[in-house]
A and B are shown apart, each in its own frame.
Chain A
Amino acid sequence: MSCRADLAVEAENLTRTFGTTIALDGATFTVAHGEVFGLLGPNGAGKTTTMRVLLTLLRPTAGRARVAGLDVATQRAAVRARVGWVPQDRTVDPLLTAAENVEFMAGMYHLTARAGRRRAADLLGLAGLAEHKNRLARDLSGGMRRKLELAMSLVNVPAVLFLDEPTLGLDISARRALWSYVRQIRDTGTTIVLTTHYLDEADRLCDRVAIIDSGRIRAVGTPTGLKDRFAVTTLDDVFLAATGQDLTEQPAADQLMPS
């Protein structure tokens, strides 16, 4: 696979199977540097599997992928050092303070204690959590915990940030605040790959989206371009036209991969 300098993510025929189940079936797509790219699809479509392969948490069964110019199969440690991730599960340590959670993650990315403290202060400031830095994570609201997770994912100043359903379970006000924070991150030039069930949000935030279903990429393009192509007015309708199903119909099988 050729390595293009303008691309933050390149996936070519990416395939991942679990036993006889094909979770990802020959996915091919690219994400340009600085782009916000949405992976849209129902549960079990292969979104999380795609992310986990790109994060080097799962090895591809077939195909190739590069993230930040690095091969996910052969340069795993280097890829990990260049990416950030907010998983779908809520993964702060409830018994650490907000600052300690960020400092912990900074250490896992090999920052010194001093640099970790400085970075935690900066990132919590950016996230609007400075005044909550000494509160235990378990005492923060759902929206604040999600922002904290975003701050934790930025300790290494990632070239590519992966957000897996970042607003799932948040109320409207918390979702708005989170997207505002994501826009700030985007404005620093960070490439963002995200999954979301909220297609209206994807429409507003994403430069390009991929419709994924049953492990296959069904369509890729800008939200406007896709709506034009399928002669519809919303991404919901694009999804319906591309896959033949409504995104609200959710087969619950996206957790096939081991945690």
Chain B
Amino acid sequence: MTTPNESLAPVAAPQAVARIWREHRVLLGRWLSRLRRERLSAVALLAQPMVWLLLFGHLFTTMAQVAQVPGGSYLRFMTAGAVVMTTFNGCLVGGVELLFDRESGFLVRMLAAPASRLSIVTSRFIYLAAVTSAQGLIIMAAAAAMGVRYATGLAGVAACLAVGALFGAGVTALSVGLAFSLKSHGQFFPIIGFVSLPLTFASSALVPLTLMPGWMQRVARLNPMTYAIDALRTLVLTGWQVGLLLRITAILLAFDALFLAAAALALRRGLR
């Protein structure tokens, strides 16, 4: 038998900060490695933002000329919607990897280690925030290349990404909550499909609220996506309207708190 060398010594318990860092390092590394090796998924993640922008941007251009959307061009109007829709879709399906881990038994194996349960979940939040921010950046860079000018400059682009991450946190909480509540991914995807399109169309992503029927406007005003889009659209089209941005930030924080609390309940049951 090979003699184990000196590296096979018992593990000394590190400090709390070091523990959390080491857990997140390997968890985030795992999510990124999986993305790198699922090449089709990686390509889709990069291509999807462009599809939103090019497909919908061109599809609604003529309608927008008739209806006169804010911003002067539909592409400029649409940029905020494309960023938020991409964040929404990325985060909404983002919890399914945890569900796959539950189904395969990998999750319970992780739970048998002394790593914090919370780290398993927070690493997913961080990963999704990073991926959707990268997607948002691609959309905004592509839109800039197509002639869209941002009223708030580069600082506004950073603010757009921050608002997107704030909105994405609540959506991720919904997705993670579902991942720990449902029995299989066979239940997960139909629910996601059912939620995704209605919420997208019942928001200001594709058309201004003023062009919607009254009942739909009322529904859209209950949709947090509308507020995220309004914040981004203000930053893209108008400028720094601090009061409005603070009000929307508060609304999105409340949305996050609500869904994080619901997800925490599901997690408590699922990670027991």
Residues of A within 8 A of B (CB): 55-57, 77-78, 80-81, 83, 85, 87, 89-93, 95-96, 100, 103-113, 115-116, 118-119, 122-123, 125-126, 136, 154-157, 184, 187-188, 258-259
User: Which of A56, A85, A112 is in CB contact (< 8 Å) with B109?
Assistant: A85
Binds A, one of B51-59, B98-106, B193-201: B98-106
Q: Are A91 and B104 in contact (CB under 8 A)?
A: yes
Q: Would you call B19 and A110 a contact (CB within 8 A)?
A: yes
B residues neighboring A (CB under 8 Å): 1-2, 4-5, 7-11, 13-14, 18-19, 22-23, 25-27, 29-30, 33-34, 37-38, 102, 104-106, 108-115, 272
B38 & A95 in contact (Cβ 8 Å cutoff): yes
Which residues of chain B have C-beta atoms less than 8 A from A80's C-beta? 112-114
Query: What is the bound-complex CA distance between A130 and B265, given in angstroms?
Result: 43
Given the complex, which residues of A lie within 8 Å of B38, measured CB to CB?
A: 95
Determine if A125 and B9 form an interchain contact, defined as CB atoms under 8 angstroms apart: no
Contacts of B30 in A (CB 8 A): 93, 96, 100, 104
For residue B113, which residues in chain A have a CB less than 8 angstroms away from its CB? 80, 105, 108-109, 156
Contacts of B106 in A (CB 8 A): 91-93
CB distance from A198 to the nearest CB of B (A): 21
Residue of A nearest to B103 (CB): A259
Contacts of A109 in B (CB 8 A): 11, 113-115
Most chain B CB within a 10 A radius of its CB, from A56, A93, A123, A155 = A93
Which residues of chain A are within 8 angstroms of B22 by Cβ–Cβ distance? 107, 110-113
Residue of B nearest to A128 (CB): B2
Q: Is B34 in contact with A93, judged by CB distance below 8 angstroms?
A: yes
Contact of A81 among B9, B11, B25, B111 (CB under 8 A): B11
| Additional A-B contact list (17), CB under 8 Å, known A81-B114, A91-B109 | A57-B108, A81-B11, A85-B112, A91-B104, A93-B106, A96-B33, A96-B34, A100-B33, A104-B29, A105-B113, A108-B110, A108-B113, A111-B11, A157-B10, A188-B4, A259-B102, A259-B108
- Which B residue's beta carbon lies closest to that of A125? B2
8 residue pairs of the A-B complex, CB under 8 angstroms, read: A87-B112, A91-B109, A95-B34, A107-B27, A108-B113, A112-B22, A184-B1, A188-B4
A107-B22, A126-B2 known; A57 vs B111 contact (CB < 8 Å): yes
Q: Which residues of B contact A55 (CB under 8 A)?
A: 112
A95 to B36, CA, bound (A): 9
Q: Which of B25, B106, B110 has the most CB of A within 10 A?
A: B106
Cα A109 to Cα B5 in complex, Å, equals 19
Complex CA distance for A81 and B106, rounded to whole angstroms: 18
Cα distance A87–B108 in the bound complex, in angstroms:
9
Q: How far is the CB of A54 from chain B (nearest CB, A)?
A: 11
- The answer for the CA separation of A154 and B10 in the assembled complex, in Å, is 10
Q: How far is the CB of B243 from chain A (nearest CB, A)?
A: 45
**What A residues does B8 contact at CB under 8 A?**
119, 122-123, 154, 157
Q: Given the complex, which residues of A lie within 8 Å of B26, measured CB to CB? A: 103-104, 106-108, 116
Bound complex: CA A100 to CA B25 (Å): 12
Inter-chain contact B25/A107, CB cutoff 8 Å: yes
3 smallest CB-CB distances across A and B, nearest first, come from A107-B26, A89-B105, A108-B113
Contact across chains for B7 and A110 when beta carbons are under 8 A apart: no
Shortest Cβ gap from A111 to chain B (Å):
6
* In the bound complex, CA of A220 to CA of B11 (Å): 33
Q: Across the interface, which residues of B come within 8 angstroms of A107, CB to CB?
A: 22-23, 25-27, 29, 115
